[in-house]
Chain A
Amino acid sequence: MLGLGKKDFTLFLAVAAITLLAPFILNPFPTGSGLAQFNAGYPDLMQRFVIYGIFAIGFNILFGLTGYLSFGHAAFLGLGSYSAVWMFKLLSMNVIPALILSVIVAGLFALVIGYISLRRSGIYFSILTLAFAQMAYALAYSVLTPLTNGETGLQLTLDDPRVLDGGGRPTSLPVTELFGMEMRDTASLGLGAWDFTFGVGFYFCAVVMLISFYLAIRIFRSPFGMMLRAVKSNQQRMNYTGLNTRPYTLAAFVISGMYAGLAGGLLACMDPLAGAERMQWTASGEVVLMTILGGAGTLIGPILGAGMIKYFENIFSKINDAVLHQWFAALPDGLEDFLVTIIHPFIGKGWHLTLGLMFMAVVIFLPGGLVEGGQRVGRLFRRRDRKAGGAEAQAAEQRRTPAE
């Protein structure tokens, strides 16, 4: 279906279903209950899940397939945001032209940066990309202030020309829209104790992510994708097989840069301002974490990793001591204080600590990321089934394996 194999198509459908039903799935706890703070089903956060999902999907095409670890992809994210905001200022509040420009600008910069950085591999490549990203950050922060509005960040103003939207000077700042549908519009649905919110912005981002994911699956299963995996495996053999590795890696770099630009553009579509901090090395590092946490080189891993990190960032950081006291209120006072003291460093502002420990655990015990974890659990269940079903199931398993 859609040019995908049966397995991939099922995966795609599953991701599509989960994404589109996210407002329900991520809101499992009734509003007002003690656990409601673990709900992530509000548009603002869900948008971030899918946008960073796009960023990580693209990064995975470079890092997961070719093994080239770029440490400067946030530069393309930032470029995408700046381009989109400029489009809002000059042309129209419609998000389509903004996204198109984001992708093109990020792609062009990726072509130049990739052409230079890919002359080296391994750690030297990573350092080169990091250097480029930090230069971009410094330029955006100070030197190029007329273009980027320096540390304040690029914003919409009342006297922007906006050639297409034209007509009369607005009295309030306009909002981003898609042919009349405002991105910030939401609809609510109350079901018993639950409240569900559906945002136009989230659904727009979700559709863009699904398209990006679909394209990524096609790339993974194409001869081009196979060549990229071959680059990771053995460049020497590539060359002696008559293949020029440079254009393959450059194409992968540009594609992943365009994904990053698209993600940056979407961030600006959801909230039309762009700041230099979006290009900082921490942002580049974050996408590396997302990809590795989820499982580099796997289709679904980067999306899982992006969701996981953004969830921790937004939900764990909101838990504070008062909340903890509430949870452990039933315990004797001494024990309650003791537990709160122990857990305190890992929550609130300390959420990085939790994330760091989790990341270490994944790298050490599950080098294949969360996806490998899932596979192991799956295998465990299958093995149990086999024990129960005896020789028959075992034979079936053996028949299945070569076909996979």
Chain B
Amino acid sequence: MGILEVKGVNKRFGGLQALGDVNLSVAEHTVHAIIGPNGAGKSTLLNVLVGKLIPDSGSVMFDGKSVLGRKPHEINQMGISRVFQTPEIFADLTVLENVMIPCFARRDGAFRMHAFESVAREGDILGQAETMLADVNMLDKAHAHAGSLSRGDKRRLEMAMCLVQEPKLLLLDEPTAGMARADTNNTIDLLKEIKDKRPITMCIIEHDMHVVFSLAERITVLAQGTPLIEDTPDNIKGHPKVREAYLGEAQV
């Protein structure tokens, strides 16, 4: 039994079958990559997992509980964090505040009316946030405006915001899209570090095969909304079905 179990999920947009009978099982404490050509349904699947889309049929179980029909913030509170394709951070706040907010969310839940407490006195939360920033080597930028960070730093910050919640499952939506090679390699190193440091399950949606083969322990290939094959990276490499799906466009 995996921590995330997707069974028979279908999603149709008008005449387009975006997801057709998708089954997926992500085992705990592994890095699972979902790859596939453009339009394969990767993003649709991700949006189903985080509660943004509700599938027409099928079930999605996380940690023994169904996520279907729950709102994004409820799903996050269950232990799923998400990293976006373009980093979603609080650009108007400082880096430290960006990391404190998920700390509050974890401690106080989806809403708490703490209007007369002082942020400056939240020693625990400050400590957690600073430790996390030190972990991603950003402590020196703690008081910088998050909006003024470089793209690579924004990505690191977003990761830090997700990780500080200690999620059971971290979903990454093309974390290196549009990045220069150097930044991509930095992100790979960061993710490897995260994986080594704490018990976490990651599910990565990615185009870049370099990233996938550097990180993943299991790979699911999605084509036209249906899982084609699921196996270890070594077996996926050079698999004729995968070559066919990509029409030889990728060097797999």
Considering only residues 115-132 of chain B, those with a C-beta below 8 Å from chain A are: 115-120, 122, 125
- Choose among B89, B106, B109, B119 the residue that contacts A223 (Cβ–Cβ < 8 A): B119
Task: Judge if A90 is at the interface, Cβ distance under 8 Å.
Answer: no
Whole-angstrom CA separation of A80 from B72 in the bound complex: 38
Whole-angstrom CA separation of A219 from B117 in the bound complex: 8
Task: Judge if A234 is at the interface, Cβ distance under 8 Å.
Answer: yes
Residues of B within 8 A of A402 (CB): 143
Residues of A within 8 A of B97 (CB): 226, 229-230
Whole-angstrom CA separation of A251 from B112 in the bound complex: 10
Q: 0/1 per residue, B35-69, Cβ < 8 Å to A?
A: 00000000000000010000000000000000000
In the bound complex, do residue B106 and residue A242 qualify as a contact, i.e. CB atoms below 8 Å apart? yes
Task: Judge if B10 is at the interface, Cβ distance under 8 Å.
Answer: no
Considering only residues 127-186 of chain B, those with a C-beta below 8 Å from chain A are: 143, 161, 165
Task: Say which one of B73-81, B218-226, B233-241, B242-250 lies at the interface with A.
Answer: B73-81
In the bound complex, do residue A233 and residue B102 qualify as a contact, i.e. CB atoms below 8 Å apart? no
Contacts A218-B118, A226-B100 given: A240-B88 contact, CB under 8 Å?
Answer: yes
In the bound complex, do residue A229 and residue B92 qualify as a contact, i.e. CB atoms below 8 Å apart? yes
Report the minimum CB–CB distance from A201 to chain B (whole Å). 29
Contacts A224-B115, A242-B77 given: A233-B104 contact, CB under 8 Å?
Answer: no
Residues of A within 8 A of B102 (CB): 241-242
Residues of A within 8 A of B72 (CB): 239-240
- Choose among A226, A240, A241, A242 the residue that contacts B119 (Cβ–Cβ < 8 A): A226
Task: Judge if A34 is at the interface, Cβ distance under 8 Å.
Answer: no
Report the minimum CB–CB distance from A121 to chain B (whole Å). 16
Task: Judge if B210 is at the interface, Cβ distance under 8 Å.
Answer: no
Report the minimum CB–CB distance from B162 to chain A (whole Å). 8
Task: Judge if A10 is at the interface, Cβ distance under 8 Å.
Answer: no
In the bound complex, do residue A243 and residue B115 qualify as a contact, i.e. CB atoms below 8 Å apart? no
In the bound complex, do residue B118 and residue A241 qualify as a contact, i.e. CB atoms below 8 Å apart? no
Residues of A within 8 A of B114 (CB): 222-224
Report the minimum CB–CB distance from A103 to chain B (whole Å). 16
Task: Judge if A236 is at the interface, Cβ distance under 8 Å.
Answer: yes
Task: Judge if A237 is at the interface, Cβ distance under 8 Å.
Answer: yes
Task: Judge if A341 is at the interface, Cβ distance under 8 Å.
Answer: no
Task: Judge if A387 is at the interface, Cβ distance under 8 Å.
Answer: no
In the bound complex, do residue A244 and residue B73 qualify as a contact, i.e. CB atoms below 8 Å apart? yes
In the bound complex, do residue B115 and residue A222 qualify as a contact, i.e. CB atoms below 8 Å apart? yes
Task: Judge if B12 is at the interface, Cβ distance under 8 Å.
Answer: no
Considering only residues 79-95 of chain B, those with a C-beta below 8 Å from chain A are: 81-82, 84, 88-93
Report the minimum CB–CB distance from B78 to chain A (whole Å). 9
Residues of B within 8 A of A241 (CB): 73, 76, 81, 101-102, 105, 161, 165
Residue of B nearest to A4 (CB): B118
Task: Judge if A221 is at the interface, Cβ distance under 8 Å.
Answer: yes
In the bound complex, do residue A234 and residue B115 qualify as a contact, i.e. CB atoms below 8 Å apart? no
Residues of B within 8 A of A345 (CB): none
- Choose among B84, B118, B125 the residue that contacts A3 (Cβ–Cβ < 8 A): B118
In the bound complex, do residue A233 and residue B93 qualify as a contact, i.e. CB atoms below 8 Å apart? yes
Report the minimum CB–CB distance from A334 to chain B (whole Å). 55
In the bound complex, do residue A222 and residue B119 qualify as a contact, i.e. CB atoms below 8 Å apart? yes
Task: Judge if A12 is at the interface, Cβ distance under 8 Å.
Answer: no
Whole-angstrom CA separation of A102 from B93 in the bound complex: 35
Task: Judge if A232 is at the interface, Cβ distance under 8 Å.
Answer: yes
In the bound complex, do residue A237 and residue B77 qualify as a contact, i.e. CB atoms below 8 Å apart? no
- Choose among A219, A221, A227, A244 the residue that contacts B104 (Cβ–Cβ < 8 A): A227
Whole-angstrom CA separation of A94 from B90 in the bound complex: 47
In the bound complex, do residue B161 and residue A5 qualify as a contact, i.e. CB atoms below 8 Å apart? no
Task: Judge if A247 is at the interface, Cβ distance under 8 Å.
Answer: yes
Residues of A within 8 A of B77 (CB): 242
In the A-B complex, the 9 residue pairs with the closest CB atoms: A242-B76, A244-B110, A233-B90, A224-B115, A233-B92, A247-B111, A242-B105, A237-B88, A239-B72
Please, could you name 14 A-B residue pairs with CB atoms under 8 Å apart, sorted by A? A218-B118, A222-B114, A225-B115, A226-B93, A233-B90, A233-B92, A239-B72, A240-B50, A241-B102, A242-B106, A243-B101, A244-B111, A251-B115, A402-B143
Other than the given A241-B161, A251-B115, 7 more pairs (CB < 8 A) read A229-B92, A230-B93, A233-B91, A237-B90, A238-B73, A239-B73, A243-B105
